[in-house]
Amino acid sequence: MKLWQKEKTETSDRILNFTVGRDREFDMLLARYDVQGSMAHVQMLHDVGLLTAKELTDISAELSKITVMIDDGDFAIDETAEDIHSQMEAMLTQRIGEAGKKIHTGRSRNDQVAVDIKLFLRNEAREIKASVLNLFSLLQKLSEEHKFVLMPGYTHLQVAMPSSFGLWFGAYAESLADDMELLAAAYNIINKNPLGSGAGYGSSFPLSRKTTTKLLHFNDLNYNSIYAQMSRAKAEKAMGNALAAFAHTLSRLSMDICLFTSQNFGFASFPDNLTTGSSIMPHKKNPDVFELVRARCNRIQAVPNELSLLISNLPSGYHRDTQLSKEILFPAIESLKECLEIIAYMLQSVQVKENIIADDKYRYIFTVEKINKLVNEGVSFREAYKAVGAEVEAGTFFFNDELLHTHEGSIGNLCNGEIKRLMDAVAEKIK
C-alpha cells in the first residue's frame, strides 16, 4: 500500500525499491512513536468534530493493540507497505474498515515522519542523558578516589608538570558536562511539535495544533507550517552535533587510556578478562575496547558533516533527501550509547599505578615547582627560570619539596562539587 497511490497509475518496482531504500528497516524504530502521534491526532480530530466518538474509540482501541504488538516484538512492516505510516493505515483499515481510512485526515506523510522522528529523538536524548550521567558519576568517583595519586602531565606529548589521576578523571567528567549543553540545546530544538503542518503549508481543516502539542508533551509548537518541515533537518543536525561532542570526549579519553596502559607508560591496567590477546605474541594485553570506541567515535564525529552535506542546498519545504538522514543518524545514536556503556563498564575495573613519579625520568616535571618556590622566596621569575634551566642543563636539578596547588581546578582543589553542580543544572533541561 502506498498512501499516494492513484487508481490507474502503477509505479515500476525498480523505482519503488530505490525510493523506499532502507525506510522499512529504520521505520521499525519509529513504530511506537507513529502510534503516539496518531493517538494524539485522532483525539484532536474528534475534538474539532472531524471524527465521531465511536470512530475515535475504534481507532484508539486498535492503536493500543498495535502498541502491545510493538512492545511484544510481534509487529512488522509488510513488504507491500512503503513505510510505517502506510503500514499503520493499512492495519487499521483492515481491522475496523472505513474509520481506519480517516486517520490521515489533516495530515501528510511529511508531518507524520517529522513528528515521529522528533518523538524518537526526544526519547533517545533522554537515554543518552542517562548513560552520560552514569559515566559522569563514575569519573567523579574515580577522581575523588585517586586525587592524591600523582602522575606526569604532558604538553606536546613531552613530560611537562605534575598532574594527578584525580585531575585527569575529573577533566573528562567536566568535558561531559559541557557536551551535555549541546544535547540540551538539541533537545530544546527537537521538543517542538510539527504535527498539523501537513505538507508544509497547513490545512483548511480546523485543526488544533495546540491540542496535539499538549497530548504529545511537546514543550511548544513549530508555529510556521513551512518552517515545521524545515525544522526536521535542523533537529536531526542539532542531535548530530551533540553526538559528535560526546564522541570527541570519548575518543580522546580512549586515546589516553591506550597510551597509559601501554608498557612505555604503564600508568594503568585492566584485568585480563577485559583485554584481548595476540595470535602470535602470548604476552600481549590489547586495549581493543578503547581502540574500537576511538574508531566508532571518530565516525560519529563525521555525522554533522554528513547531515550538513545532505541538506546544504535544499530550498524551503519538504524534500525526499531528508529520508537518508535516518540511516546517517539512527545508527550513530545506537553506537554512541554502546560506547558510553562499555567505557563505564571498563572503568569500573581500572587499576591505577601508585608512585609513578618516583621514577627518575619524571624528575623534570618539578622544574616549574622549583621556579615558583624561588619566586616565593623573592627571586624574580626570569632569574628563577634561568637558574633552574642551568641546573637542568648541568644535570644537577633536584626537587623534593611537597606540592602545594590550591587554586580552583588544580591538583589540590579539584572542584568536583562545582562540576557536578554544572552537570546537574544542564541535565535538568532534558526532561
108 pLDDT above the threshold of 80:
yes
The CATH H-level superfamily of 13-105 is Fumarase/aspartase (N-terminal domain) (1.10.275.10)
For the ranges 254-263, 267-276, 288-297, 337-346, the lowest mean pLDDT is seen at 267-276
More confident residue, 234 or 342: 342
Which pLDDT does position 320 carry in this prediction? 82
Question: In the chain, pLDDT over 90 holds for what percent of residues?
Answer: 82
Encode pLDDT of 60-72 as tens digits: 999 999 999 999 9
**Mean per-residue pLDDT of the chain:** 93
- Cβ count near 410 (within 10 Å): 15
4 pLDDT above the threshold of 60:
no
Domain segments of the chain as ranges: 13-105, 110-140+166-357+418-427, 360-394
For the ranges 8-17, 115-124, 234-243, 313-322, the lowest mean pLDDT is seen at 8-17
- Strands 268-269, 192-193: pairing is unpaired
With cell 483492515, the residue in question is 94
> Among 274, 275, 255, 273, which Cα is nearest to 265's?
255
Encode pLDDT of 170-186 as tens digits: 999 999 999 999 999 99
| Domain range 110-140+166-357+418-427, CATH class | mainly alpha
Which runs of E-coded beta strand occur in 67-165? 150-155, 158-164
- 316 within 8 A of 226, measured Cβ to Cβ: yes
- CB hemisphere CA count around 59 (13 angstroms): 29
Distance CA(266)–CA(37), nearest Å, equals 54
426 pLDDT above the threshold of 90:
yes
Distance CA(225)–CA(353), nearest Å, equals 60
318 pLDDT above the threshold of 90:
no
Cβ neighbors of 139 (< 8 A, separation 6 or more) are 169, 170, 172, 173, 176, 347
pTM of the model: 0.92
- 201 within 8 A of 30, measured Cβ to Cβ: no
21 pLDDT above the threshold of 90:
no
**pLDDT band at residue 20 using 50, 70 and 90 as cut-offs:** low
* Average pLDDT over every residue of 227-247: 95
335 pLDDT above the threshold of 90:
yes
Which pLDDT does position 44 carry in this prediction? 98
More confident residue, 115 or 401: 115
Cβ neighbors of 75 (< 8 A, separation 6 or more) are 28, 31, 66, 69
C-alpha cell at 285: 594485553
- 3 within 8 A of 109, measured Cβ to Cβ: yes
Task: Give the N- to C-terminal CA distance of the chain in Å, as an integer.
Answer: 37
Which pLDDT does position 11 carry in this prediction? 62
CA 350 from chain center: how many Å?
24
Distance CA(233)–CA(200), nearest Å, equals 14
337: left (phi over 0), alpha (psi -120 to 50) or beta: alpha
